[in-house]
Structure 1
Amino acid sequence: MLQFLKEMMDFKFLLTLSTLIGLFSLLKTLVVILRWAWGSFLRPKKDLKKYGSWAVVTGPTDGIGKATTFQLAREGLNLVLIGRNPAKLSSVSSEVQERFAGVKVRSIVCDFAKDLENGIKRIEQGIKDLDVGILINNVGTTYPFAMFLHEVDEKLMESVIGVNVVGTTKVTHVVLQGMVERKRGAIVNIGSGASSVLPSYPLVTIYSATKG
């Protein structure tokens, strides 16, 4: 009889513990969902122009960068587009001006992997007379295919770190100076799920570290 009671008490304890763990997990998931819903749908819209009349976007010719460029233009912000391909920059610039009347666009060529120093000088010259209030650091590069860290050669390693870390840092340094002087501005760094959804993912180690 005593053994049976002891087993029942152990069972109740395990059941209570399991229930508490389950409730905690459920609560944590609910908080994540609510934060996502607030940030995506419920939070009051910000007037981006209060930061300044111009926005700088790196890597604006494809994917997230291009979509962000159009969204900023939709908000009425003038744009400084920074990328390595003059033809793509010209194409995006023309498309923005066709779709969003009155939005001004400046394009600056900067190859973050091969000619960063000269590109940074062009950026510095290109924005010195502008009221830049927003910087979107979207530029990035990764491996041509998945590989373990010891398989990455030095040239590729330097390219990924040079573009994702050094290039982004130097652009931020140039743009930030004007923001500090004007005492307003916003900087958004576009990361990657590789650094959070799959932490320590062994096949894109350097990329994950530079896009966290």
Structure 2
Amino acid sequence: MAGAAVAFLFVSLIGVGALYLSATCLRVLAHLALCLRRPIDLRRRYGSWAVITGPTTGLGRSMSMELARRGISLVLLDLDAANLDEVSRTLRNKAHPDVLIRTVVFDLSLVGTVAGDEAMRRLKDAVEGLDVGIVVNNAAVARPGALYVHEADVEKLTRMMQVNVMALSEVTMALVPGMLERGRGAIVNVGSGSTVAVPSFPLYTVYSSTKRYVEHLSRCLHVEYKSRGIDVQCQVPFYVHTGMLSPAVKQTMRFPAFVATADAYARDAARWIGHGGALCVPDASQQLQWFLAGFVPDVVHDWYRLRRHLQHRAILWSLAAG
């Protein structure tokens, strides 16, 4: 009897492993098929305008450039008017000649306040009458990080939650009604590998928790609105060469080949809009990381992440003291 039980357990484990490997292979094949397929015409499928938050640096800037290159006009939201002017000029020089640019100064950390309500009114005025087919909720606050929760400044954590959770939700809710009227649209929420590839992300706890919200929100909205012609997707970057990478992360990077450039990631991200369901990892090398991470037990992930992030904490404390 004992031998039969062991044999049954062994066969069951093989079956589970085979199912996991099959699911992963299907993801890889889907990625390869998407790369070989001609890119869809996002303008034709969704609409001629896109709204992008946080478009002046990093992924947001690269995504703005990529969509503009595809002939999609842009409404750009950022808290700094000078940065908006600079990226607008750059886009007009490099984008498709028919692309139009509108800007809205919007400090997303002020949602729910009088100033935030006024900025939201300006956004609604800016998109009035436009065929807004794509929303890219890219803006996010990642710092403070590499800290125990009790060490972090509460006001800074509150700002993080306002931008990463409340602002993303309010911008989405403001633009969904127009998409429903037109019967089409795509909402792209930028998530984080900290909530997908690993069970915990200690010392970056509040940040990863806000990104878990983004992931779950995207999954639910995908189910709610898919039948109404609106594709909702959480696109998950792992490490990307942007200002979001702190000096501590850069100093302890083990596998730089797995770190995508912002432009390369944006090209992949644009191809994945409308594909891959509610959750996708657009970069192929980062999909491989996701696959390999699945073979590591949670307890090992937890130990390794805490150890690595304590190294980040020590580096940041050293930089602050010096």
Instruction: Give TM-score scaled by structure 2 length.
Output: 0.57
The whole-number CA distance in structure 2 between the counterparts of 1:110 and 1:76 is 24
Aligned residues: 205
The whole-number CA distance in structure 1 between the counterparts of 2:189 and 2:73 is 19
Structure 2 residue 186 is matched with structure 1 residue 191:
no
The whole-number CA distance in structure 2 between the counterparts of 1:177 and 1:21 is 43
Letter of the 2:156 counterpart: L
Who is 1:90 aligned against?
85
Structure 2 residue 26 is matched with structure 1 residue 27:
no
Per-residue CA distance 1:100-158 (angstroms, 9 max, x = gap): 22211001110111443222121111111211111111111022331233333421221
Per-residue CA distance 1:51-106 (angstroms, 9 max, x = gap): 22111111111111111111111111111111111111111111111112221100
Who is 1:45 aligned against?
39
- Overall identity of the aligned pairs, in %: 38
Give the 5 Å matches for 1:140-151: 140-151=140-151
Structure 2 residue 104 is matched with structure 1 residue 108:
yes
- After TM superposition, the structure 1 stretch with the greater mean CA deviation from structure 2, 198-207 or 128-137, is 198-207
Who is 2:223 aligned against?
none
Letter of the 2:83 counterpart: K
Q: 1:117 to 1:146 in 2, by over 3 A?
A: farther
SS state of the match for residue 126, structure 2?
A: helix
Structure 2 residue 71 is matched with structure 1 residue 76:
yes
Who is 2:203 aligned against?
203
Per-residue CA distance 1:159-186 (angstroms, 9 max, x = gap): 1110011111111111112112222211
Give the 5 Å matches for 1:115-154: 115-154=115-154
Letter of the 1:183 counterpart: G
**1:31 to partner: Cα distance:** 2.6
2:144–2:152 contact (8 Å) kept in structure 1: no
The whole-number CA distance in structure 1 between the counterparts of 2:178 and 2:6 is 65
1:116–1:167 contact (8 Å) kept in structure 2: no
Q: 1:23 to 1:87 in 2, by over 3 A?
A: same
**1:187 to partner: Cα distance:** 0.8
The whole-number CA distance in structure 1 between the counterparts of 2:20 and 2:185 is 37
Structure 2 residue 55 is matched with structure 1 residue 63:
no
2:144–2:157 contact (8 Å) kept in structure 1: no
SS state of the match for residue 146, structure 2?
A: coil
The whole-number CA distance in structure 2 between the counterparts of 1:176 and 1:191 is 19
- After TM superposition, the structure 1 stretch with the greater mean CA deviation from structure 2, 137-146 or 24-33, is 24-33
Q: Please give the root-mean-square deviation of Cα atoms over the aligned residues, in Å.
A: 2.5
- After TM superposition, the structure 1 stretch with the greater mean CA deviation from structure 2, 114-123 or 183-192, is 114-123
The whole-number CA distance in structure 2 between the counterparts of 1:182 and 1:64 is 28
The whole-number CA distance in structure 2 between the counterparts of 1:121 and 1:168 is 15
The whole-number CA distance in structure 2 between the counterparts of 1:145 and 1:208 is 10
SS state of the match for residue 60, structure 1?
A: coil
Q: 1:48 to 1:149 in 2, by over 3 A?
A: same
**1:14 to partner: Cα distance:** 8.2
The whole-number CA distance in structure 1 between the counterparts of 2:205 and 2:142 is 10
The one of 49, 56, 81 equivalent to 1:54 is 49
Letter of the 1:107 counterpart: T
